Structure 1
Amino acid sequence: MNAEIVESFAQMVREKSLDKDVLAGIIEEIFGVLVKKKYGPNAKYDVVVNMDKGDIEIFFERTVVEHVTDPNLEISIDELNAKGNPDELEVGDEYVEKIELNQFGRRLINLARQSLNQKIREIEKDIVYSEYREMLGEIVVGDIYQVRKNDVLVNHNKNELVLPRSEQIPKEKYRKGDTIRAVIKEVKKTPNGPLIIISRADNLFLQRLFEIEIPEIYDGIIEIKRIAREPGERAKVAVESQDARIDAVGACVGMKGVRIHAIVRELNNENIDVINYSDDPVLFIQRALSPAKLKQIEIDEANKKCVVTAESDQISSIVGRNGVNIRLAIKLTGYDIEIIREEKPFEEYEDDIELVELKEELGSDIVELLINNRYDTAVEVLSAGVDKLKEIKGIDEQKAQEIIEIIKNQFEEEE
């Protein structure tokens, strides 16, 4: 029975990769509890565990007395002599005898097994927690084993990692069995064990990918100064070279874009703009809003505000699709950016547009009404302005503004 118990314990060591000395200490503690359950809380004992030999020895100690008052603490000299008293002990000496495990009975032995299992589970949870706490901010590679409504469960070294919906790249598809890369974002202790949260949407994941794909960043020659990101859509990364001989943006993009394309593919084709960082806010904002051409930048450093003036044909480039470019520029620079549209003088438009060509955009009735009032081209309408147009019967101020805006958009598209 002794060898059987130790072997079952040793198997736990192999399966859980626990330290043998740690497990031996747990076994000593558990069997110490058994001794106290059987012989009382004041019992004197010593538990010796040899994991290599697969042996547990329990030594029970009692004082030799003339008359016994507590059999759990004392043994009479007469009883000892009846046993042969091989060590020739006398009253006052300490008598030590070895207790066989089967003396505890099946119930207590099963209790020991249950206690050991519980202790091992607690230690295992602590080991996993400590292991992943040390890996915070690092990229891990695992296999998806379950896709649920609000999260994805990933197997990494037989441990469960959770990819919540908030940390997923929007519109990215996850399938059971797929291999996935993500950064360890958070490790929390819970009653059910450590909760390990991973992320593909966090800025840190993008930063770690840059470090993997771009040796100059890993080596510290190029530094990532700031990142702004809308996962799955677009990101802006500001970099700075510590070596004047190395072009930071060129090194990040790589020959024919090979380095940046590897990162883009990993991020489900998320567009990445790499720009040179600058301590000069005007220059930095200008770079953050590229490729748009800006006419003027006014900075309010105290309130972190900025007013950007640009010609009307640059506004769409500044704002970007669904406003993503301006939002990322605001995140990257830390400035609240206001845009002022500078209207292009009408005489600068190289090609005028006949109003009859804008029937689809303005509507046939409006075009006919304008022509009947001697407005034959788009420039003529723009030159007249809202005040003149609203004098026409059938066109109020709101309609006049709408006509002007539609025609301006037509010129911008032609640009």
Structure 2
Amino acid sequence: MNNKSLIDSFSDFKYEKNIDKINLMSILEESIRSVLKKKYESSKNYDIIVNLDQGDLEIWRNRIVVKDGSVKNTNREIELSIARKIEPDFEIGEEVTEKVELKSLGRRAILSLKQNLLSKINKHDNTNIYKKFINKIGKVISVEVYHILPRYIIVRDEELNEMILPKQEQIPNDFFKKGDLVKVLVKKVEWKDNKPFAILTRKDSNFLKELFKLEIPEISEGLITIKKVVRIPGDKAKISVESYDDKIDPIGACVGIKGSRIHPIVKELRNENIDIINYTSNNELYITRSLSPAKISMIEMNEEKKLANVYLKVEEISKAIGKHGQNIKLASQITGYKIYVFKDFHFEDDVELTEFSDEIDPIILEKFRKLGLNTAKSILNYKKNSLIKATNIEEKIITKIVTILQKEFEK
């Protein structure tokens, strides 16, 4: 192999690996110096000139002229008589520069150079891929299913980089065919056999969070904040949201007209049931909302131990617990409270708030309903100060309503 042949073959990598010219030249020079050092123990006395645009490669060796018979290092020194065959006017102590052809290094050195080049190019390429993967951690990307194996699926991105979606990171009822396009979250990056692999997930709670950001402009624009997401992948999820603009209904914005925004997310998650909760710092109200669709009669809170005893009518208990206990489990996770459910015998003779529509303003009744307070006793057992704070109703009005409700039971 001559110098030009090496440059021609090396230039192909510029297109195959998408390496910039400066890095290409640096890799080539580094590889040549590595071969020279291996053959001559040093490459410091060599000048290497690479010009990829013109397809040129020049290697020049510099040696000091010494008197005949006193050469100690043939790589760094040259006898006067040999130097004068190159230029007749050379003198002792002067520097002789000679052009070196690759073929003069020998077959083994050239083979080593090829291997070194390939190794460094692959290392450079893998480093770039690794950096790209790292920048995608925590983001949702679309990939194509490339190869299906029992323990994991190999997928490829738009640049044909291979990534791994392990079985344990798939939604239980996920089913894929080769060529399918699927959304995934980049969870982490690992090295295997000196190659970087992005490990993907569809089960992580952040996957649902990022899907909401993609589908709901108000979230991506920061008008609505996602406070917390909890999931039982493929079955049920709860997500609490908050709007800093009173004009924006966070739940309505997330659901969209006739479910236009939430439906694509549910479909992507294999029909996972998603409850959207309006976040509040009022823990009693937050627990009430988190246990929807169950209607709560009363809550006893232990703020210090993060415990909540929830009392419900018999027909509401199954709604609060949910299928296989999923509803109460997710409610506990999203609120941070350990929730216990109890049958409320005390409320069996309760009266629905709708019965008081002739005495209490319907607007006020609607505010109570939004708090999950649908009966007279559910209000009477609610702390007065908490009720004022949660409804933003004046104290004198709350006092009047409590009096009306108490009279009902005095009868």
TM-score normalised according to structure 2 size: 0.81
Once the two structures are superposed, residues 270-297 of structure 1 have per-residue CA deviations (whole angstroms, 9 ceiling, x without a partner) of 1111110011110100000011111111
Alignment check: 8 A CA contact 2:230 2:334 kept? yes
Alignment check: 8 A CA contact 2:313 2:347 kept? no
Write the mapping of 1:155-304 to structure 2, written as runs, cut at 5 A. 155-156=156-157, 157-304=159-306
- What is the rounded CA distance, in whole Å, between the counterparts of 1:42 and 1:27 in structure 2? 14
The aligned residue for residue 3 of structure 1 is 4
- What is the rounded CA distance, in whole Å, between the counterparts of 1:347 and 1:278 in structure 2? 31
Give the Å deviation of 1:241: 0.4
Once the two structures are superposed, residues 121-143 of structure 1 have per-residue CA deviations (whole angstroms, 9 ceiling, x without a partner) of 21222111111101111111111
Q: Which runs of 5 or more structure 1 residues have no equivalent in the other structure?
A: 349-415
- What is the rounded CA distance, in whole Å, between the counterparts of 2:347 and 2:6 in structure 1? 93
Matched, 1:44 2:45: yes
Give the Å deviation of 1:344: 7.5
- What is the rounded CA distance, in whole Å, between the counterparts of 1:253 and 1:346 in structure 2? 35
SS in 1 for 2:199: strand
- What is the rounded CA distance, in whole Å, between the counterparts of 1:137 and 1:346 in structure 2? 49
Q: Which amino acid aligns with 1:334?
A: G
Alignment check: 8 A CA contact 1:189 1:195 kept? yes
Inter-CA distance 121–163: structure 2 relative to 1 (3 Å threshold): same
Write the mapping of 1:2-401 to structure 2, written as runs, cut at 5 A. 2-41=3-42, 44-67=45-68, 68-70=70-72, 71-85=74-88, 88-156=89-157, 157-343=159-345
- What is the rounded CA distance, in whole Å, between the counterparts of 2:289 and 2:38 in structure 1? 75
Alignment check: 8 A CA contact 1:185 1:198 kept? yes
Alignment check: 8 A CA contact 1:43 1:73 kept? no
Give the Å deviation of 1:42: 6.9
The aligned residue for residue 352 of structure 1 is none
Inter-CA distance 209–25: structure 2 relative to 1 (3 Å threshold): same
SS in 2 for 1:307: strand
- What is the rounded CA distance, in whole Å, between the counterparts of 1:249 and 1:306 in structure 2? 25
Report the number of matched residues.
Answer: 346
- What is the rounded CA distance, in whole Å, between the counterparts of 1:295 and 1:217 in structure 2? 33
The aligned residue for residue 385 of structure 1 is none
Alignment check: 8 A CA contact 1:312 1:344 kept? no
Q: Which amino acid aligns with 2:321?
A: V
Alignment check: 8 A CA contact 1:236 1:273 kept? yes
Once the two structures are superposed, residues 345-372 of structure 1 have per-residue CA deviations (whole angstroms, 9 ceiling, x without a partner) of 8899xxxxxxxxxxxxxxxxxxxxxxxx
Q: Which amino acid aligns with 2:148?
A: V
Alignment check: 8 A CA contact 1:35 1:43 kept? no
Alignment check: 8 A CA contact 1:43 1:72 kept? no
The aligned residue for residue 408 of structure 2 is none
The aligned residue for residue 372 of structure 2 is none
Give the Å deviation of 1:82: 2.3
Q: Which runs of 5 or more structure 2 residues have no equivalent in the other structure?
A: 351-411
- What is the rounded CA distance, in whole Å, between the counterparts of 1:269 and 1:345 in structure 2? 36
TM-score normalised according to structure 1 size: 0.80
Larger Rg: 1
- What is the rounded CA distance, in whole Å, between the counterparts of 2:41 and 2:323 in structure 1? 78
Alignment check: 8 A CA contact 1:312 1:342 kept? yes
- What is the rounded CA distance, in whole Å, between the counterparts of 1:211 and 1:135 in structure 2? 15
Alignment check: 8 A CA contact 1:226 1:239 kept? yes
SS in 2 for 1:173: coil
Identity %: 40
- What is the rounded CA distance, in whole Å, between the counterparts of 1:121 and 1:206 in structure 2? 35
Q: Which amino acid aligns with 1:149?
A: P
Q: Which amino acid aligns with 2:317?
A: I
Give the Å deviation of 1:192: 3.4
Give the Å deviation of 1:100: 1.2
Give the Å deviation of 1:76: 2.2
- What is the rounded CA distance, in whole Å, between the counterparts of 2:206 and 2:41 in structure 1? 57
Give the Å deviation of 1:43: 6.0
Inter-CA distance 168–40: structure 2 relative to 1 (3 Å threshold): closer
Once the two structures are superposed, residues 315-348 of structure 1 have per-residue CA deviations (whole angstroms, 9 ceiling, x without a partner) of 0100111111111101111111011112388899
- What is the rounded CA distance, in whole Å, between the counterparts of 2:292 and 2:37 in structure 1? 77
SS in 2 for 1:109: helix
Alignment check: 8 A CA contact 1:163 1:199 kept? yes
Inter-CA distance 101–293: structure 2 relative to 1 (3 Å threshold): same
Cα RMSD for the two superposed structures: 1.7
Once the two structures are superposed, residues 214-252 of structure 1 have per-residue CA deviations (whole angstroms, 9 ceiling, x without a partner) of 100000000000111111111111000011111111111
